[in-house]
Structure 1
Amino acid sequence: LTRKDPRWYGAWWIGFLVIGFGLLVTGNFLVLFPRKLPETLRREHKRAVRLAEREQKTGGKRNVEFFSSLAKTKSKEEKPTLRNLLKALKRLFTNKIWVGNLFNTSVYVLGVSGYWNFKPKYLETQFRQSPTTASYYTGLASFVSLVFGTGLGGAVLRWAHPGPRFVTGYNIFITLLTCASYIILSFVGCPRLDVLGPVDGSPPPGCSSECGCSERYSPMCSLDNFTLYYSPCYAGCLTVNTTA
């Protein structure tokens, strides 16, 4: 099969098959995660040590092993309940930093969702690209930027350990930079096409003025890449080359 073979349209399911197989392979690695992360274990051990030291000061005989086993037993006995869920939600929505970040993310997504959805169409109209080429570049750019941005952000947080003030300022800076980029992109594009046909009262080309062309819109590009004919009839064409 060649890349232009029409049978590819019926093979839309191949992509889902490949992605599904990849998820099955990589998803099994989640089983290797421990029940508790090392940081949680260290925190529980420090708490057990503090309780044991406090017990010894008061004349008690319970040691670190006792409090460690008590923490394990408590974690096993805890079961998710509706009351615990409500407490967790209350603690979550009273966190000012989390609520502010949620509000910022919601406003950002609402602002750029239109751009995300119509990005391929934007490349088609502004830069004279085919739908296939526009979708290819938008998908590639989105994937690369997502992987690179997530990896870089995770590496910075892992090794630099920035404080909350720095992270908040960084988020504000990136948001402002994104808004400025959208504004700059609105001024970038190719020159406007000259549409020849029954659009805004423009006269039809002289070669097709007596052809009796219909009002059916079937756009056709010219070889100069600056002229768009309303239909092949308005271009005065007798035959159309669809392979160019």
Structure 2
Amino acid sequence: MPKALLKLARNPIFVCHTASLTLRIIGFSGYFVFMPKYMENQFRQSASTASLFSGATSILTMLVGIMLGGAVIRKFKPRPRYLTGYMVGVEFFSLAGLFASMFIGCPSLDMAGTTLVGNELNLNNECNNGCGCTQHVFEPICGPDGHSNYFSPCFAGCKALNNTDENLVRIYVNLFITH
């Protein structure tokens, strides 16, 4: 085992690739941790949908990259110099994709019926005042005009609140109130 580790430590391609991979993972770890929250806010998705898409895209792209890379190496059996160039090319392609993804998104979110009180956004208004809406679950929804956005269906306005049993059951009748 020590001889094998020493042989690997003397391989400059392996050492440089391992160092670059380590630095890249450290640099991107914050991005990957907060990617679901970014997708939730930028693309107006629920937390579960954003987590599903961010996890699935990460795993699938890694899977395709590993399988495609292995197939290319197995088929062409490149020399170390070409393999190094291939790895650099793949890294630049990955970096270009990450950079391009920063510019993809939706227009800024303007929520209808909200006011700014101090440094906090007040989501309650006359249409949803008695509905008991929670601000803990972000479920964005578009208004009937196609331009206005609401924090959740409850904040879009409810006309009736039905309390049954000991559990609070909210029934939203006519989510969108037209004035």
Bin of the TM-score, shorter chain as denominator length: 0.5 to 0.7
Shift of 1:217: 4.2
Distance in 2, matches of 1:155 and 1:220, equals: 42
**Residues matched between the structures, number:** 156
Name stretches of at least 5 consecutive residues in structure 2 with no aligned partner. 162-169
Name stretches of at least 5 consecutive residues in structure 1 with no aligned partner. 1-83
Sort the Cα spacing of 1:107 and 1:241 in 2 relative to 1 into closer, same or farther, 3 A: farther
Sort the Cα spacing of 1:206 and 1:97 in 2 relative to 1 into closer, same or farther, 3 A: closer
Question: Greater Rg, structure 1 or structure 2?
Answer: 1
Distance in 1, matches of 2:92 and 2:158, equals: 50
2:53 to 132, 137, 140: 137
- TM-score between both structures, scaled by the size of structure 2: 0.66
| Counterpart AA for 1:149 | G
Contact 2:141 2:153 in 1 (8 A): no
Contact 1:194 1:226 in 2 (8 A): yes
Distance in 2, matches of 1:226 and 1:207, equals: 15
Distance in 2, matches of 1:155 and 1:90, equals: 28
Shift of 1:197: 3.1
Contact 1:124 1:130 in 2 (8 A): yes
Identity fraction in percent:
33
Shift of 1:189: 0.6
CA-based RMSD: 3.7
SS of residue paired to 1:129: coil
Q: Deviations over 1:31-57 (max 9, x none)?
A: xxxxxxxxxxxxxxxxxxxxxxxxxxx
Sort the Cα spacing of 1:223 and 1:230 in 2 relative to 1 into closer, same or farther, 3 A: closer
Map of 2:11 onto structure 1: 95
Shift of 1:154: 1.4
Contact 1:205 1:235 in 2 (8 A): no
Does 1:115 find its partner at 2:34?
A: no
Distance in 1, matches of 2:81 and 2:148, equals: 51
Which one scores higher on RCO, CA 8 angstroms, separation ≥ 6? 2
SS of residue paired to 2:142: coil
